[in-house]
Amino acid sequence: MEWTADPSAGSWLRERLDDGVSTGTDAWTMHVVVPRGYPAYARVFHPARRDRPVGDEWPGLPYDAHRHAWDAFQARDPEIIGEQVSWADTAAAMGTKMHREAQWQHLVAPGRIVENEDGPRDSAGWRYQDPPIGGLEIESLAAVAEHLVAHTSTPDAGWAAVWEGWGGLLGFRGHGPSRAFYTFSDDPNHQAMLGRSGRDPFNSVFRRKTWQEGILSREISEGPRLELPDRRHVLFSAAPRTFAHPEWILDAPWRDRLAEEHGFPPAAQSPSILWPDDHAWVLVSEVDFDSTIVAGSEALIAAICADERLEALQIPEGADLTDDADEVNR
């Protein structure tokens, strides 16, 4: 995988996308981000998670606006179990109906909301967390990619576009770093440094802006973008076959090596858009979607929807995937 300073390889996408300007209440469709003109489309639902205490009700927790407060609590309590859950199983637990244009918030709407808790609960005591938005997890992407590779004449030549807005991805000229990794220590030198930082004249907003490094180099950060309606992407040449193996993150130019230096495991954001040189299909993980859309042949879409490792349903061209699209569960 290599960055390209020439984003023209993605210009054909722009011709197949709507401009995002609604001309009526029913005009907005998925084609603001998903190309038109393919024989079939599949919606791959991002798996959600649920958890509950073993044999008891949820313990009361003080209010905390940050999700990591619960993570810390759960780590201290071995009597909590959690698991990945499909949208269909969630609907069954909540008494709603799973369908191709289902929306998560409508699917879990009957769930009991408890004050100071994060997520609705079903009658069995399971608490549900929203599915991730903006990308497929590594295992799901690998499963989808196996089918993608089998339905293109160019499995070793293609393109991956990554949305420029992911936190820390790009460097910039400013007063502070794109992100910070916090550490705590009783070391007196460390404490003295923290004490000085609040009075440091170099932290003044009036000081000169300097280049703040991101995950990607300065050359890439300041380079050309693939310009699509309401979205700008960094473009990389990438063989579709690469993504059929979870280890692809080790070769990704946008791998978060700085986080690894602070003890985090290897990680890289899944591609926002992926396509082969022959344009036989397109995979789109829109930053605001909790599902990924694949456009391609009828055979490809049927194979993806039949894969038991995935939760996927065929959707029609022109499908509405906005928050209000779920008319079944209103």
Instruction: For 170-226, write each residue's pLDDT tens digit.
Output: 876 564 555 555 554 566 655 554 454 445 555 555 566 775 778 888 998 889 999
C-beta of residue 293 within 8 angstroms of C-beta of residue 27: no
pLDDT for res 61? 46
Residue 184 CB neighbours (<10 A): 7
- The residue-averaged pLDDT of 134-138 equals 91
Q: Taking every pair of C-alpha atoms in the chain, what is the biggest distance, in angstroms?
A: 66
Can you read off the two tokens belonging to residue 232? 């700008």
pLDDT for res 28? 76
pLDDT for res 205? 52
pLDDT of 31 strictly over 60:
yes
User: Rounded CA gap, 229 and 236, in Å?
Assistant: 19
Name 81's bridge partners.
Answer: 52
Q: Buried b / exposed e across 135-168, counting CB within 10 Å, b at 16+?
A: bbebebbbbbbbbbbebbebbeebbbbbbbebeb
- Decide which of 69 and 170 is more confident: 170
Can you read off the two tokens belonging to residue 140? 């799901």
